[in-house]
Amino acid sequence: MEDDNWIYELMPEAEADQINAESIVTAAREQGGVTLELHASDEVAIQMCLAYKSALSGDTAAWSTIQVFLGGILELLETHLFEEGINPYEDSGQ
């Protein structure tokens, strides 16, 4: 029977175990996810596009509009993660 602990000959046991634990978490997170569906009237979509174009030209007020929009999306993602038992600020592995 082949030794299942061969990896410990290549690196310290704690490091190998840490890599293994992180890979298990990563694999589990690849199975989950969230789908965001955005509904906006044409007028709202046009206003967001115009704000984005202005923001790219240096309009700081337009950047504020874009920031609020993105903040709403990020709040949805954050809520989903917390509902899944994932704290994105502590469990990210970064």
- One-letter amino acid at 83 equals E
pLDDT in tens, 33-44: 888 888 889 999
pLDDT in tens, 17-70: 888 888 887 787 777 788 888 888 999 999 999 999 999 999 999 999 999 999
d(CA 57, CA 51): 10
Q: Look up residue 84 and give its two tokens.
A: 């899944």
List Cβ neighbours of 74 (8 Å cut-off, separation of 6 or more): none
* Three-class SS state of 93: coil
